């Protein structure tokens, strides 16, 4: 994830340019294959066929920004022994 700081009305804000995940639940294949690019807009539509990972992207976003802790089943083909 790439972050750029901008100043708006004397405040610092964090702009997210893209969000990418890999090896979480059923999502694998590399970060370039699993990336959402945020354009200069305040609206984002996340759409696709069933079982392609829309909810997993949202869950990954929550792990990062809301400090939720992932559990063992969230990691794709991982060995925790």
Q: What are the pLDDT digits (tens) for 38-75?
A: 887 777 777 888 888 888 888 887 777 776 666 666 55
In a domain, 81, yes or no: no
pLDDT greater than 70 at residue 30: yes
In a domain, 29, yes or no: yes
CA distance to 5, 18, 22, per residue, from 74 (Å): 31, 21, 11
Question: In the chain, how many domains are there?
Answer: 1
In a domain, 79, yes or no: no
In a domain, 35, yes or no: yes
Give the residue, 9 or 35, on which the prediction is more confident.
35
Q: Which structural domain, as residue segments, surrounds residue 52?
A: 3-74
pLDDT greater than 60 at residue 10: yes
- Of 64, 67, 77, 66, the closest CA to residue 21 belongs to 64
Cβ atoms of residues 76 and 24 within 8 Å? yes
The pTM of this model reads 0.51
Count Cβ neighbours within 10 Å for each residue of 43-73 and write b for 16 or more, e otherwise: eeeeeeeeeebeebbebbbeeeeeeeeeeee
pLDDT band at 1 (very low <50, low <70, confident <90, very high): very low
In a domain, 80, yes or no: no
In a domain, 21, yes or no: yes
């Amino acid at each position: 994830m790439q972050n750029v700081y901008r100043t708006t009305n004397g405040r610092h804000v964090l702009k997210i340019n893209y969000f990418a995940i890999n090896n979480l639940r059923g999502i694998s294949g590399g970060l370039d294959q699993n990336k959402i690019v945020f354009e200069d807009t305040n609206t984002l539509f996340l759409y696709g066929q069933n079982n392609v990972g829309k909810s997993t992207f949202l869950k990954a976003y929550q792990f990062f920004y809301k400090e939720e802790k992932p559990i063992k089943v969230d990691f794709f083909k991982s060995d925790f022994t």
